[in-house]
Structure 1
């Protein structure tokens, strides 16, 4: 089972997402621009968010760790991210299902959050591979993933079905354990 404890830098605390975070998460998720590239808007109503929390965010704690992103400066939850698809046999996982409220985008929040999850994945869980995926057309997300130091691996066609019935082509990136020391040093400079 993944350990459920907080991870922190001087700017961000990743807290295991709990019911007490849902009001702030709902408030952070109200800008419709957030949901253009994400599979479904779970912040559409408090009821949908609650259902998402109990049915998706709490699904299989052996394979995923869902975190609320807490901004120390703002003293509140400003988004969510997760480590998921943990494969203990192959020592791999994915980082994603991330959203950061619009006022905190293009700030240090996402870099700090991803650094914390990557550090946990490689240093605590001793994984050898971490992947990221985003909509093929979401250039802002693709750029952010590449800035972390992740390597573009290609497009996975018709990888996910969207709520409107269409299919998403996913741009896939990865970081492997041999790359982590250099990427870690580069991220620490950015922090």
Structure 2
């Protein structure tokens, strides 16, 4: 695992600014994806149907020492459209996980996710000095798995009955990773595909 979780930091590209998640982001985040069952379908919390519910979920992440959460803010509008986090990885040497991610449907397939992942993976390898960035998702979440593969995530296997979903059913979890020496080629490919706006 990492020696300690990184301190909150702000990371920016031409598309998105990742800034430490705070309660002040909640109203915009709720407008972006609160109450949307499809956005929250595979997440580790039930769909928030009010700002107070979303604020409670956000506070849990903000105060959890195993998570460093970021609000994803569109540079063009200055509005928060989702969040993503660094997560501690007990049992894995020099690794960090990127996950607990969601974005409002308005920015799906827009390049926001790729921009966020480039910022977080770059920072993990270049500044945090990790050897491996990990991703995991519900084995039924085909859209998330495709997104992880697109940025270079290599499948590592499936943990069966890894944990309970919010509805109480068992979740099998698919694991992926990117190693430090694999990332430069993936980053170059992603940057070429997206053009100068990444």
Q: Secondary structure at the match of 2:135?
A: strand
Aligned pairs for 1:134-153 within 5 A: 134-153=137-156
Greater shift in the superposed pair: 39-48 or 161-170: 39-48
Alpha-carbon separation, structure 1, partners of 2:96 and 2:9: 18
1:73 Cα offset (Å): 1.9
Task: Extract unaligned runs of 5+ from structure 2.
Answer: none
1:87 Cα offset (Å): 5.5
**Alpha-carbon spacing, 1:89–1:166, altered in 2? closer, same or farther (3 Å):** closer
Asked if structure 2 preserves the Cα contact closer than 8 Å seen for 1:7 and 1:13, the reply is yes
Asked if structure 1 preserves the Cα contact closer than 8 Å seen for 2:37 and 2:47, the reply is no
The equivalent position to 1:8 in structure 2, one of 6, 12, 36, is 12
Q: Which runs of 4+ in 1 moved over 4 A?
A: 86-89
Aligned pairs for 1:51-130 within 5 A: 51-60=56-65, 63-86=66-89, 90-130=93-133
Alpha-carbon separation, structure 2, partners of 1:72 and 1:43: 25
Asked if structure 1 preserves the Cα contact closer than 8 Å seen for 2:46 and 2:166, the reply is no
Partner of 1:34: 39
Q: TM-score, normalised by structure 1?
A: 0.92
Task: Extract unaligned runs of 5+ from structure 1.
Answer: none
Asked if structure 1 preserves the Cα contact closer than 8 Å seen for 2:134 and 2:175, the reply is yes
1:84-127 C-alpha deviation (Å, 9 max, x unpaired): 11559821011010001001001010000011110111100010
The equivalent position to 2:157 in structure 1, one of 154, 159, 163, is 154
> Size of the alignment, in residue pairs?
189
Q: TM-score, normalised by structure 2?
A: 0.89
> What is the CA RMSD across the aligned residues, in angstroms?
1.7
Asked if structure 2 preserves the Cα contact closer than 8 Å seen for 1:135 and 1:169, the reply is yes
Asked if structure 1 preserves the Cα contact closer than 8 Å seen for 2:61 and 2:69, the reply is no
